[in-house]
Chains A and B, each alone.
Chain A
Amino acid sequence: MVELELTVNGKACMLKIEPGERLIDVLRQRLGLTGTKEGCGEGECGACTVIMDGRTINSCVVLAIQAHGRDITTIEGVGNRIRPHPVQRAFVEEGAVQCGYCTPGMVLAAKALLDKNPDPSPQEIGAAMSGNLCRCTGYDKILRAVQRAAREVTGT
């Protein structure tokens, strides 16, 4: 067992874990943050996307211990019904949500993009969202939602 200290959604967490535990399992099982989804278990679908120190990662191919001392944002830390994040509002209003299983990862990928680049081009949006698979929407409304959120963020 090793000591793991990390910040999750702004809260300091201390846990004892096995070194081989994946970040996704610690988030879902130990911290109860089930908004992070597992779709493929091999870093190919992006459903388990979380933001670590400002960058998106697939939490299914990262060991929890690799997050030691780092800052993690999961979907639970992004917004709520009273104060939704612009990306979340845009996803709802554009109709970018169908089955919803890819949605948390998509929202985080979009948030990470807009945090760095509030005014992305359509190409930049496509590239930023290309690590997240969706089987329902055909991506069309997801990409539009990111554009809409960008407009809201930049106030244009």
Chain B
Amino acid sequence: MKKRGTGLGCTWYGTGYGNGFPDVSSAFVEIHDDGTAAVLTGAVDVGQGSSTVFAQIAAEELGLRPEDILVCSGDTDVTPDSGTTAATRQTYNTGNAVLKAVRQAKLRLQEFGARKFSCPSPEGIELKDGMIGVRGDPSRSMPLSELAWEARLLHGERFISASSFTAQTTAVNLENGQGAPYWPYAFGCQAAEVEVDTDTGTVRVLKIAAAHDLGRAVNLTQVEGQIAGGVAQGVGYALLEEVELAEGRIKNPAFARYLIPTALDVPEIESMIVEEPEDTGPYGAKGLGEPAMLPTIAAIINAIDAAVGVRITSLPATPEKILAALAEKQRGGSGG
């Protein structure tokens, strides 16, 4: 018989290296003569999209299109160290470093613009839609491309910057664990609907509704991509995957025997974004990479219990474990 149930998973996640370890990211910025810009960071894009996020940050600040930003990453001869692409830290950490560096270069542009347009202060200079000029006075503006070109060729002025950002945490006390080990924290909840076949113990995840507080979504497409990818990994972790060992040897070091979810194993996913801005994050952003998969685990396990009344306490929740628990429950055990 097939029975359905829903379950809830609710999680938190401290981002960054944490524990007072200096979590530093760095970025170099150069404004080109034609008004486009380069951002150089050591942060590598492993597929999650950090390079796109950095391009967006630079574009936002400089009033350019993201495609006008060249992001160069992960070459130790060229780019500054921006730490590892892990710990859900690149949007927040390197994003902050990029933002700081871009703002420095931007300030130089504004100062040059202020002189050029006889504006009393650099703050009065605006960069927007590829133009630079006096805020609110389109007659005193010019394309950034012309200004950058003119600045170098007529005045020898360059707009180049470098900056670093360090996340602030403290080490925990080794006696009692007290301290402020991470910042910022991301939060998430997911609801899973599953269908359990009581004959075979097979679980099918029908739907996941996922809501994640990531501070601010810099790129909506990529946010949805992280959530869906996290859910898929959560499904695999909860139901399918296991490195089987025999005396320390891996029994299943092959994709025919180490099974990850296929397109047919992943449920319909409804992603919802909660933007509770983080003051210290770039535009309020915290991060999402790792948190996306966490609630899935519990949502599925709790949904199995809701569907058939057995509590699986060891992952993965295989059909074998579910059938055994169902049998135990029938014999009058607690099922837990």
Contacts and interface: CB of A to CB of B under 8 A. Distances in A.
Interface string B229-267: 111110000000000000000000011100010111010
Residues of B in contact with A, size category? 20 to 34
A98 B45 CA distance: 9
B122 interface: no
A100 B231 CA distance: 19
Contact of B255 (A40, A95, A136): A40
A139 B228 contact: yes
Contacts of A143: 263
A127 B266 CA distance: 13
B174 interface: no
Contacts of A121: none
Interface string A66-93: 0000000000000000000000000000
Interface in B253-292: 254-256, 260, 262-264, 266, 269
Interface of chain A, main secondary structure: loop
B266 A98 contact: no
Contacts of B233: 135, 138
Contacts of B231: 138
A44 interface: yes
A95 B221 contact: yes
B222 interface: yes
Contacts of A98: 47-49, 225, 229
A45 B264 CA distance: 14
Nearest to B208: A138
B256 A137 contact: no
A42 B256 contact: yes
A136 B229 contact: yes
B264 A126 contact: yes
A120 interface: no
Interface string A35-78: 00001101011000000000000000000000000000000000
A48 B231 CA distance: 25
B126 interface: no
Nearest to A132: B263
B257 to A, nearest CB: 9
Given A95-B221, A126-B263, A141-B224, A136 B254 contact: no
Contact of A135 (B256, B260, B263, B269): B260
B264 A100 contact: no
Contacts of A133: 255, 260, 262
Contacts of A136: 47-48, 225, 229
A2 interface: no
B154 interface: no
Interface string A12-45: 0000000000000000000000000001101011
A1 interface: no
B85 to A, nearest CB: 12
A138 B255 contact: no
B254 A95 contact: no
A129 B266 CA distance: 12
B1 interface: no
Interface string A117-148: 00000000011011111111111111100000
A140 to B, nearest CB: 4
A42 B255 CA distance: 8
A142 B224 CA distance: 12
Tell me which of A39, A40, A130, A135 has the highest count of chain B C-beta atoms within 10 A of its own C-beta.
A135
Q: Which 8 residue pairs spanning A and B have beta carbons closest together?
A: A99-B47, A138-B228, A138-B232, A95-B221, A98-B47, A44-B255, A40-B255, A140-B228
8 contacts: A42-B255, A44-B254, A45-B255, A94-B221, A126-B264, A131-B262, A141-B224, A143-B263
Interface of A: 39-40, 42, 44-45, 94-95, 98-100, 126-127, 129-143
